[in-house]
Amino acid sequence: MQPNWIKQRAYLTPNRIAVSFHDEQWTFHELYEKSVIRAYQLNAYELTGKRVAILAPSTPALIEVLYACMQAQCEMVLLNGRLSKQELSYQIADAEVDMILVADSEFGKLAPDDRMLLFSALSDREPKAYEIASEWDDDFALTIMYTSGTTGFPKGVCQTVGNHSASAVSSALNLGLSEQDSWLCTVPIFHISGFSIIVRSLLYGMKIRLYEKFDAKRCAAEIASGSVTKMSVVAVTLENILTQMEEANLTAHKNFTTMLAGGGPVPAAYLHRAQALQLCVAQTYGMTETSSQTTTLTSEDAFRKVGSAGKPLFFNQVRIDEPNVEGIGEILVRGPHVTPRYVGKFKDKPTTRDGWLHTGDIGYLDKQGFLYVVDRRSDLIISGGENIYPAEIENVLLAHEAVKEAGVCGIDDAKWGQVPIGFVVLKGKVSEQQLIDFCKMNLANYKIPKKIHFINNMPRNGSNKLLRRQLKQLIVE
């Protein structure tokens, strides 16, 4: 059992700022009081202890509803508002939710059925008081999030109270805590990287500086001013911040301690640019099934182990399954942060085998135990019997000064089985041949893209991960 996080935090540090948004801010006590009223209103709709889906942007109103659902011990299915109606329909049906809590009528247009309750209707309901639990069961499925479905149907992943708290505690043991900590949150809250910041805030007593949408210019200014101390990013948002800081001749303030970078390997070129801006980037490795981080590179190793996702956090374990002669194989994970179960279509599928989660990611451990994530197994290109990892080619392309974003996938080839092709979004002038020549200087011949396509936007999912499987659809001959 664990204490009710919201009640306990409001008791311990009632007057500490919990959330700031634009020019407004709220203390933990204020959010606790709001959450109690909202929980009573959920109870009036007979939703206490039920499974509800939530469809909303990252605003204080969403945090208020999340707090209320926790108080009401609702299982929360966090929905991605960037998905299509069809995709949302699948998740809502698969999770068998009792109600869909929706921010407003615009988001309501995405809700595929009549089980919809607007935030405004919830707040207008006459509260029905009841005794809110003072303790939570470790095994309670606090959140359910759907995987991105890169290899098939998305899976509904249960993340328990115990999973979330183990993840938050492990992260704190790695990054450390300070009463002055303020986490700049621009990642969507429906994603594990966003919701984990909510959990850390409650367990640490930490302020969240909330943005509804990512704004590179404002983020760069916050980092340079010292108004925030930590931030979570993916490679594409990191690059945008770096560009803004470089153009404005800014450097990171001494108060800013850590930029956590997840969602896939970060190109080495970005890390070197960050170093020049005194910006400490700590690469992480985690997934929906692990309630955020499994490994993280510590600040002291950030520039000694460039390209590594670090070592497992304190309670976690990592090993490589069936490594090849180079030590590369599938990454397996074990620890209290790993989900115990799926819901819906995959409810009978075990999440682990012999206690280990098979991630589907490819990587290796160096002699000191640092993890290097090479790629997704599903994105692997096999050309003439040789394994080609798209991320390796993408890193080379991204090192070119004219390239802003890069993606690589394989296409069928009569002679070699598959060959790699590249897609780039430019920020300067360069020809296809110049990029191919650049690759020739940095890659083995069989890894050089046979063709490079120039595009305006990379296909990405709601958490800004590159969708390599969609790249081939962009080919224009």
Residue 402, C-beta contacts closer than 8 angstroms, at least 6 positions apart: 426, 427, 428, 429, 430
What angle do the packed helices 5-12 and 60-71 form, to 10 degrees? Answer: 110
Query: Is residue 397 left, alpha or beta, with left meaning phi > 0 and alpha meaning psi from -120 to 50?
Result: alpha
| pTM, to two decimals | 0.83
Residue 442 banded pLDDT, cuts 50, 70, 90: confident
CATH of domain 163-378: 3.40.50.12780
What pLDDT score does 204 carry? Answer: 97
Question: CA-to-CA distance for 188 and 210, rounded, in angstroms?
Answer: 10
The HSE-up count of residue 46 (CA atoms within 13 Å, CB side) is: 1
The total of other beta-carbon atoms located within 10 Å of residue 140's CB is 17
- Decide if 402 contacts 428 (C-beta within 8 A): yes
Residue 403, C-beta contacts closer than 8 angstroms, at least 6 positions apart: 397, 424, 425, 426, 427, 428, 430, 435
Residue 201, C-beta contacts closer than 8 angstroms, at least 6 positions apart: 18, 19, 183, 207, 208
- Alpha helical stretches, state H, 176-296: 192-204, 216-225, 235-247, 268-276
**Cross-strand pairs, 25:** 20
Q: What percent of the chain has pLDDT over 70?
A: 97
**Cross-strand pairs, 332:** 319, 358
What pLDDT score does 463 carry? Answer: 66
383: amino acid identity, one letter:
S
Q: Where in the chain is the domain with CATH 3.30.300.30?
A: 380-474
Unique residue bearing structure tokens 């930490």:
206
Residue 416 banded pLDDT, cuts 50, 70, 90: confident
In degrees, rounded to 5, the angle at the alpha carbon of residue 183 between the alpha carbons of residues 180 and 189 is 150
Nearest to 160 by CA among 351, 28, 360, 359: 351
Residue 464 pLDDT greater than 80, yes or no: no
What pLDDT score does 476 carry? Answer: 57
**What does the pLDDT look like over 137-190, one tens digit per residue?**
999 999 999 986 544 578 999 999 999 999 999 999 999 999 899 999 999 999
What pLDDT score does 378 carry? Answer: 75
Nearest to 309 by CA among 263, 242, 355, 378: 263
Nearest to 241 by CA among 260, 268, 216: 216
Q: Where in the chain is the domain with CATH 3.40.50.980?
A: 2-136
**What does the pLDDT look like over 1-24, one tens digit per residue?**
999 999 999 999 999 999 999 999
**What does the pLDDT look like over 31-55, one tens digit per residue?**
999 999 999 999 999 999 999 999 9
Look at residue 156 and give its three-state secondary structure. strand
What pLDDT score does 148 carry? Answer: 67
What dihedral angle (degrees, nearest 10) is formed by the CA atoms of 462, 348, 352, 309? 0
**Residue bearing the bigger pLDDT, 202 or 326:** 202
- Decide if 7 contacts 28 (C-beta within 8 A): no
Q: Where in the chain is the domain with CATH 3.40.50.12780?
A: 163-378
Nearest to 98 by CA among 155, 46, 35, 153: 46
Mean of per-residue pLDDT scores for the chain: 91
Residue 334 pLDDT greater than 60, yes or no: yes
- Decide if 174 contacts 298 (C-beta within 8 A): yes
What pLDDT score does 301 carry? Answer: 83
- According to CATH, the topology of domain 380-474 is GMP Synthetase; Chain A, domain 3 (3.30.300)
What pLDDT score does 347 carry? Answer: 94
Question: CA-to-CA distance for 290 and 333, rounded, in angstroms?
Answer: 8
- Decide if 199 contacts 63 (C-beta within 8 A): no
Question: CA-to-CA distance for 342 and 339, rounded, in angstroms?
Answer: 8
- Decide if 450 contacts 420 (C-beta within 8 A): yes
Question: CA-to-CA distance for 17 and 244, rounded, in angstroms?
Answer: 28
What dihedral angle (degrees, nearest 10) is formed by the CA atoms of 274, 276, 280, 284? 40
Q: What percent of the chain has pLDDT over 90?
A: 70
**What does the pLDDT look like over 75-132, one tens digit per residue?**
999 998 878 788 888 899 999 999 999 998 888 788 766 789 999 999 999 999 999 9
The yes or no reply on domain 2-136 and CATH 3.40.50.980 is: yes
